[in-house]
Structure 1
Amino acid sequence: MRGPCRRGRSIMATYVDILKSEFPEIDTEVFDYITGVLDSGGADFEDGEEVFDAIGGVLQEMSADYKNEDDIRDICLQMFNTLQLNNCHTTTQKQVLLDAPVQLSQISVETVSATSDVQGIWMTKRGQNTTVNAKKLEKAEAKLKAKHDKRNEKDSQKSPSPVVLEEASASQACSKKDSRVDMSGKNRSYDIRIENFDVSFGERSLLQGAEMSLATGRRYGLVGRNGLGKTTLLKMLASRSLRVPPHITILHVEQEVAGDDTPALQSVLESDTVREGLLTEERTLNARIANGLADGMESVRLSEIYVRLEEIEADKAPARASVILAGLGFTSKMQQQTTKEFSGGWRMRLALARALFAKPDLLLLDEPTNMLDVRAILWLENYLQTWQSTILVVSHDRNFLNAVVTDIIHLHSQRLESYRGDYENFIKTKEDRLKNQQREYEAQLQYREHIQVFIDRFRYNANRAAQVQSKLKLLEKLPELKPLEKEAEVMLRFPDNFEKLSPPILQLDEVEFYYSPDKSLFNGLCVSADLESRICIVGENGAGKTTALKLLMGELTPVSGVRHSHRNLKIGYFSQHHVDQLDMNVCSVELLLNKFPGRNEEEYRHQLGRYGITGELATRPVASLSGGQKSRVAFAQMTMPCPNFYILDEPTNHLDMESIESLAKALNKFKGGVVLVSHDERLIREVCKELWVCEGGKVKRIDGGFDEYRDILHEQFRKEGYL
């Protein structure tokens, strides 16, 4: 029977008090078990019923003679209430108030020595006898575990764990002699030769038995298809997972500069650690001398520092750093701004400026033109042409490679092949090699067929048996024929099954726009485009190129003026951040399914296949794809609704050379309109008929196209003293 005393029990009672009160003769082993369950799982119980499921069976077994199931449920509810109260008022550390102070010296030595199985300084092991049914205990534990598992499963469904990406690794065969030379410091050469090395990404092998030689002072362009491992190879070099002599300094421009209170110019100066160390030591010694604390040796050291500072031309460093920053687009005012005031793109430029200023022995650049406008790219081309140490650059910009590199390293078929000369020379030489290999293959094939004809003709002729045997042995000794490996052609296609639209299609008329009233971005903007348009918008970063695109799309509303668009105009927009906005935790097929539900899997796969995402690539998590492969997935997503007008903001970022060529062809075949922002000179020349320059709050058309724009920029460089 439920008594009023239990219903009226003080809320301050603990579940321990309730247990002792309701079951005064409770066995010690059972008491420890129940309190252990409630103590460890108290925060997980959702109601009194869950407490009953966990321990009710044990309590019923123990009190079968004087308490029924309802009594037990009521007791479990009371204990649940005390657990809830405790969870609100206690910390994770459980505190126990002792009745009296405990003196360690008073603990009986006999207590510890009485048994050899001591659990700890406060505990000895209990006897094994118990009055509780062991099966009931196991059943209660199983119920509690099932509750925990069920709750964990619910939590994981609410917030799916992010995809765990595979990691890259490298291994290299290295002789003991080479290791001893490196450790001894006798190797003073700045040439780098890495032989017989492998690179993998998770379970995928990217390079096998590869070799790479980098001669000091030469500038190498690393090229190859998306997803083959170019970026991974740079990371293996930067982390020294591949053996680079320890005296060779390496800088990998990979991450943006951290935002803090350091001015941009000072951030660049600090990248020269030698200069900074000398200046710091100079200040310390001067302070000691001024306070009369220095001895003669410190004065000698100060003289040595002055000589060293003069040797490295430390006084000219601020001017040199300022020239680099200005070339990359930082105005005098921006050079004094703190790094935390810049966006991620500008912090990446700052990271590049630091690397150029620090002059490492090996400079590793991964798609450096992605973060730059056309003006900054032209400046960087000129600057790197006089670079004295070694460069290894991954770039999709054909013109940039032609202007900068002295050698090309081609990554394909899990190996590296070197070519002297720029990218155009690489293309020509590679084609010649392929033709020679094809001729050699065909000649060997013809020779084999000739021998085989003889064998087949005289196989059963006893008089020719010796000759047949000789020919068979000759055939076995011939090297194994391998057909020519041709890289699959990249195909991009923009569907254009739509009706022609009569002009006007898209216009901005006398548009004014600003983000802040005190700084107008555009004033009196008048531009128009139609389904025949192939327009490229150029200009320095911050001039308003992306804003102009968003005004054309209708994403931004003009402060004054009017935007006109055809009622049947359907715009496909590719943002330069489009790739980062993809759902990284699903595969490409699921991505399209979620975005455009209601179609069968074959349609999604066909759409992805148009952009080179085929086979197992389509079922891999998007997060595991390379930058270029993610871009192709973004193209597949953008084109699925079949727009009749494309607005593309930096569409070539992360694409390989072959994909850019295919993109140019696809845009030229497309029957709708195209307006794009790009810094890729080749794409602009291949596709665009008009050039709009954003400058000084205006957008003006250049009749001479890219050549005229390039000449204007070179003239500016000469006037500003950057050339």
Structure 2
Amino acid sequence: MEAEIKAQIPGLDQVISDYAIGYLDHASRQYTPDSDAPGQSPLGEAAECITALLVSASGDLSDQNSLAIRNLVDKFISKLSAADGVDGERRQMAATARKLDHAIQVGSQRNMSSTLGLAGATVDLESANTRKVESRVDRKKLEKAERKIQAKQDRKVMKSVAYEASRLLDQPDDAQSYEDFYMQVNPLQLGADQVSKSKDIKVDGVDVSISGKRILTDTTLTMAFGRRYGLVGQNGIGKSTLLRALSRRELAIPTHISILHVEQEITGDDTPALQAVLDADVWRKHLLAEQEKISKELSALEAERVSLADTSTDAERLDKHREGLDTTLSDIHAKLSEMESDKAESRAASILAGLGFSEERQHYATKTFSGGWRMRLALARALFCEPDLLLLDEPSNMLDVPSITFLSTYLQSYPSTLLVVSHDRAFLNEVATDIIHQHSERLDYYKGADFDSFYSTKEERRKTAKREYDNQMVQRAHLQAFIDKFRYNAAKSSEAQSRIKKLEKMPVLEAPESEYSVHFRFPDVEKLSPPIIQMSDVSFGYSPERPLLRHVDLDVQLDSRIGIVGPNGAGKTTVLKLLIGQLQPTSGLISQNPRLRIGFFAQHHVDALDMNASAVGFMAKNYPGKQDEEYRRHLGAFGITGTTSLQRLSLLSGGQKSRVAFACLSLTNPHILVLDEPSNHLDIEAMDALSLALRNFQGGVLMVSHDVTMLQTVCTSLWVCEGGSVEKFDGDVKAYKKRILGQAGQGGVVERQD
């Protein structure tokens, strides 16, 4: 069996092979399969579990591979289930079966591994990583594991909502509608007792893995109802993975707590945008339909009851049925009242307006909107549903400054629990009441902290821990030196023993994390005589009858630090493309110094990268003339260090790809940097490094950005693009946001409708 497994799955870890053989061998000796279908017997359940384990461990989830492994398991079981109960091969397997040095907890609720993504029986092999010796499988521990499997299966009420962290789906299941998934994750529960249940969340012993990489280990997730949590951490640390695990109830969140996760755009169809938002509240839609159905049924019963005598059996039956329907209808009315169903349409329109949808566009079909606007629709649907736990993953990436301003204002009075992943300092400062720092496979909590206070507290904690650790290392070294010198000295032996005891009693401190830092550096710029680049009375339109920009005058010099803001669709990116020559004006003049080199960072920079090449290989192909070591040093200046520069670009995170794009941009030695949303995908440390590099850059900077912190840090002048014009704003970003809030308040779109 072992040889056949290794032949089918080359490179399989020995511990998995041993466990599979020992588990099946034990099940065959402990139980006798009955005459029913094999899948219904205990041995059949063991076969299902081991098949799923081996398929997951192989890394090949195709149907062909799954069938081959299942046939291999069935072949082994047929030998184990022979008439005499134990044949020669089975005795040999039992003799060679070996035990892990840590017990494998099968289906343990507390230490459940999300790595394997098995349906039904899930097996945790992460605890086996530290094994040093191998021995025979322990029967008692296997029996205990089997009892845990059965207990877990008995408790499981939502088998179809299994979350597979090893195969995170970028797209929803085409066979399952939004309504079906929503009702599975959030089963509708009526009755007065539901209102009194606590909606605080506390889950102990959280373990989450993805693709064999441990994200969280034996940590605790705690969120108090009504608090707004900002989840922060480095790129690639697993923040989005945690949100997805929560959204699919992979973690033990009580079912009376409703959850909604905004991570992908909605599918476009003929449904108007406003109706799409209303339909997002599946509970409301379902309750309204049930209310109408029960009302009609009650009317029919009433009509039938009139013709019957009060003492008849049929009358009593109808009265009981009507009483039950009245109770259900009363619960539905109470739930709809709690949800403020009568205010739904006005609230949905208010949210859409705040996110940039005009009254006219609210009635457009969803299929007419671009991806960015569909993401806004998805966000509007989530805000409208108002779940008990709202999960947002980088909500500001697709929003402009006016929409971010609306969103932050709206969330400040969000009545339920919010968990948001964001790298926007200003947004977190305005929204978060608490910060959760994800690092080192654990979660650290900073209660009552916005991002700035969290950052200063975190640094103080790190410095204190490092100081304590360094002091203890000095003490340990001093004690150990004395012990080594005088341990065998008769005159000093008692003192040496005293120091040995003191050393043993000292608490073991873990080495503090090394400080995470990123550095960006752009090359020096040779001087050019002005004018550098100018737009004079420029107008532009993608069609003659609908001009987008009119009479734009803009001057960029080597010392310029210009930020362009405004609503999406107003023409900000178009201004940048006109400046770099990608578009030609319909009228007006754009002039530039003939020696000028412009570096353009596009909003969708990843499209220009070859995902099959490494960062060094991509640079060597597109910017030839240097040695590989030179490219690696250059990438190191943008935080791409070590072997990362030699990995395929498809394996890098979004933030790392952004850094590669910036490194390529700097190879052109630009005089002017033209940047379209440069902060997207960067973590906070990388954004700080980029802001510092742009401030120190000797050339000019012109950027379109929604990140308030970056605009405040880098830009010395602000230009507003709206209504077909681009005009200089007399004030900073904070003043611009106040103007937006003033306009929105007059329009009545920012305030919540309670």
TM-score between the two structures when normalised by the length of structure 2: 0.69
Q: Secondary structure at the match of 1:270?
A: helix
Residues 232-288 of structure 1, C-alpha deviations (whole Å, 9 max, x = no match): 221222222222223322111011011100000000000111211122234556777
- Residue 446 of structure 2 corresponds to 419
Shift of 1:646: 0.6
Q: Secondary structure at the match of 2:483?
A: helix
Picking from 556, 565, 569, the partner of 2:592 is 565
- Residue 237 of structure 1 corresponds to 246
Instruction: Give the Cα separation in 2 of the matches to 1:302 and 1:488.
Output: 58
Answer whether contact 1:702 1:708 (CA < 8 A) is retained.
no
Shift of 1:618: 2.1
What percentage of aligned pairs have identical amino acids? 50
1:399 aligns with 2:437: no
Answer whether contact 1:648 1:677 (CA < 8 A) is retained.
yes
Moved more, 545-554 or 477-486: 477-486
Which residues of structure 2 form unaligned runs of 5+? 1-114, 128-144, 159-188, 306-320
Instruction: Give the Cα separation in 2 of the matches to 1:462 and 1:306.
Output: 88
- Residue 55 of structure 1 corresponds to none
1:499 aligns with 2:508: no
Give matches, 1:421-460, under 5 Å.
Answer: 421-452=449-480, 454-455=482-483, 458-459=486-487
Pair 1:365–1:305, CA change in 2 (3 A): closer
Answer whether contact 1:168 1:232 (CA < 8 A) is retained.
no
- Residue 256 of structure 2 corresponds to 247
Instruction: Give the Cα separation in 1 of the matches to 2:692 and 2:225.
Output: 38
Instruction: Give the Cα separation in 2 of the matches to 1:277 and 1:179.
Output: 29
Moved more, 673-682 or 414-423: 414-423
Which residues of structure 1 form unaligned runs of 5+? 1-165
Shift of 1:603: 2.3
Pair 1:167–1:644, CA change in 2 (3 A): farther
Residues 209-228 of structure 1, C-alpha deviations (whole Å, 9 max, x = no match): 32221121111111111111
Pair 1:549–1:201, CA change in 2 (3 A): same
- Residue 390 of structure 1 corresponds to 417
Pair 1:220–1:312, CA change in 2 (3 A): closer
1:208 aligns with 2:217: yes
Instruction: Give the Cα separation in 2 of the matches to 1:509 and 1:503.
Output: 15
1:474 aligns with 2:484: no
Q: Secondary structure at the match of 2:357?
A: coil
Instruction: Give the Cα separation in 2 of the matches to 1:294 and 1:304.
Output: 23
The one-letter amino acid paired with 1:424 is: D
1:681 aligns with 2:708: yes
Shift of 1:480: 3.6
Give matches, 1:208-287, under 5 Å.
Answer: 208-284=217-293
Shift of 1:179: 9.8
- Residue 202 of structure 2 corresponds to 193
Pair 1:305–1:205, CA change in 2 (3 A): closer
1:528 aligns with 2:537: no
Instruction: Give the Cα separation in 2 of the matches to 1:409 and 1:525.
Output: 45
Moved more, 474-483 or 505-514: 474-483
Instruction: Give the Cα separation in 2 of the matches to 1:244 and 1:219.
Output: 17
The one-letter amino acid paired with 1:440 is: E
Answer whether contact 1:363 1:392 (CA < 8 A) is retained.
yes
Q: Secondary structure at the match of 1:508?
A: strand
Q: Secondary structure at the match of 2:706?
A: coil
Picking from 560, 564, 577, the partner of 1:537 is 564
Instruction: Give the Cα separation in 1 of the matches to 2:338 and 2:210.
Output: 45
Picking from 525, 536, 559, the partner of 1:509 is 536
- Residue 355 of structure 1 corresponds to 382
Q: Secondary structure at the match of 2:491?
A: helix
Moved more, 290-299 or 543-552: 290-299
Instruction: Give the Cα separation in 1 of the matches to 2:337 and 2:471.
Output: 66
Shift of 1:472: 2.2
The one-letter amino acid paired with 1:485 is: E
Q: How many residues matched?
A: 557
- Residue 147 of structure 1 corresponds to none
Instruction: Give the Cα separation in 2 of the matches to 1:312 and 1:448.
Output: 62
Shift of 1:229: 1.3
The one-letter amino acid paired with 1:242 is: L
Give matches, 1:65-144, under 5 Å.
Answer: none
Pair 1:293–1:570, CA change in 2 (3 A): farther
Shift of 1:586: 2.7
Pair 1:311–1:429, CA change in 2 (3 A): closer
Shift of 1:550: 0.7
Pair 1:667–1:611, CA change in 2 (3 A): same
The one-letter amino acid paired with 1:206 is: I
Answer whether contact 2:199 2:225 (CA < 8 A) is retained.
yes
Instruction: Give the Cα separation in 2 of the matches to 1:620 and 1:457.
Output: 49
- Residue 620 of structure 1 corresponds to 647
Answer whether contact 1:194 1:213 (CA < 8 A) is retained.
yes
Shift of 1:167: 9.1
Shift of 1:517: 2.0
Instruction: Give the Cα separation in 2 of the matches to 1:225 and 1:542.
Output: 31
Q: Secondary structure at the match of 1:441?
A: helix
- Residue 139 of structure 1 corresponds to none
Shift of 1:699: 0.8
Answer whether contact 2:539 2:587 (CA < 8 A) is retained.
yes
- Residue 490 of structure 2 corresponds to 462
Moved more, 209-218 or 551-560: 209-218
- Residue 378 of structure 1 corresponds to 405
Pair 1:308–1:402, CA change in 2 (3 A): closer
Answer whether contact 1:288 1:294 (CA < 8 A) is retained.
no
Instruction: Give the Cα separation in 2 of the matches to 1:295 and 1:640.
Output: 84
Residues 669-709 of structure 1, C-alpha deviations (whole Å, 9 max, x = no match): 11011000011111111110110001111111012222321
Answer whether contact 2:601 2:678 (CA < 8 A) is retained.
yes
- Residue 596 of structure 1 corresponds to 623
Q: CA RMSD in A?
A: 3.0
Q: Secondary structure at the match of 2:199?
A: coil
- Residue 89 of structure 2 corresponds to none
- Residue 699 of structure 1 corresponds to 726
Picking from 722, 733, 736, the partner of 1:709 is 736
Greater Rg by CA: 1
Moved more, 439-448 or 270-279: 439-448
Instruction: Give the Cα separation in 2 of the matches to 1:183 and 1:268.
Output: 29
Q: Secondary structure at the match of 1:535?
A: strand
Shift of 1:321: 0.4
- Residue 365 of structure 1 corresponds to 392
Q: Secondary structure at the match of 1:528?
A: strand
Residues 571-612 of structure 1, C-alpha deviations (whole Å, 9 max, x = no match): 111111112442223332222233224533222222222221
- Residue 40 of structure 1 corresponds to none
- Residue 319 of structure 1 corresponds to 346
Instruction: Give the Cα separation in 2 of the matches to 1:693 and 1:233.
Output: 38
Moved more, 316-325 or 700-709: 700-709
Answer whether contact 2:206 2:221 (CA < 8 A) is retained.
no
Residues 480-534 of structure 1, C-alpha deviations (whole Å, 9 max, x = no match): 45433222310111112x3201111111111111112222111111111011100
Instruction: Give the Cα separation in 1 of the matches to 2:335 and 2:480.
Output: 76
Pair 1:292–1:581, CA change in 2 (3 A): farther
Instruction: Give the Cα separation in 1 of the matches to 2:117 and 2:695.
Output: 38
Shift of 1:203: 3.2
Give matches, 1:145-164, under 5 Å.
Answer: none
Shift of 1:329: 0.8
Answer whether contact 1:569 1:644 (CA < 8 A) is retained.
yes
TM-score between the two structures when normalised by the length of structure 1: 0.72
